[in-house]
Amino acid sequence: MDITLAKTFLAIIEVGNFAKAAEQLYVTQSTISTRIKQLEGFLGQSLFVRTKSGTTLTPAGAQFKPFAEKMLQTWEQACQEVALPQNFEARLSVGVQFTLWERLMVKWLPWIKQAVPDYAILADVGSSDWLMQQLVNGLLDLVITYTPQNRTGLVVEKIMEERLVLISDSVKNYGPDGDNYIFVDWGPEYKMDHASEFPARDMTALTTNYGPLALQYILTNGGSAYLPMRMVRPFVEEGRLQLIENEPVFARAVYAVFMAHEDSTRFEKALEGLRYVASLEDE
Report H helices in 16-127: 18-25, 29-43, 59-82, 104-115
Q: What is the pLDDT of residue 73?
A: 80
Q: Does 162-252 match 90-160+253-281 at the fold level? A: yes
Q: What is the pLDDT of residue 81?
A: 63
Q: What is the pLDDT of residue 182?
A: 93
How much is the pTM? 0.65
Domain spanning 162-252 has what CATH number?
Answer: 3.40.190.10
Tell me the pLDDT of the chain averaged across its residues.
87
Q: What is the pLDDT of residue 153?
A: 87
pLDDT digit string, tens, across residues 96-142:
987 787 778 888 989 998 998 888 888 888 888 889 888 887 888 99
Separation of alpha carbons 77 and 3, rounded Å: 13
What are the strands, taking DSSP E only, across 115-246?
119-126, 142-145, 154-168, 182-184, 206-208, 224-228, 242-243
Q: What is the pLDDT of residue 236?
A: 94
Residues in the chain with pLDDT < 50? none
Separation of alpha carbons 58 and 48, rounded Å: 5
227, 233, 237, 239: CA torsion to nearest 10: -20
Q: What is the pLDDT of residue 46?
A: 94
Domain 90-160+253-281 CATH superfamily = Periplasmic binding protein-like II (3.40.190.10)
What are the percentages of helix, strand and coil residues in the chain, rounded to 5? 45, 25, 30
**C-alpha atoms less than 13 angstroms from C-alpha of 95 in its C-beta half-sphere:** 24
Listed by start position, the domains of the chain span 3-82, 90-160+253-281, 162-252
Q: What is the pLDDT of residue 82?
A: 63
Contact 216, 240 (CB under 8 A): no
Residues sharing a CB contact under 8 Å with residue 166, sequence separation 6 or more, in sequence order: 174, 175, 224, 225, 226, 243, 244, 247, 248, 249
Name the fold adopted by 3-82.
Arc Repressor Mutant, subunit A (1.10.10)
Q: What is the pLDDT of residue 77?
A: 72
Q: 264 forms bridges with which residues in the sheet? A: none
Q: What is the pLDDT of residue 33?
A: 92
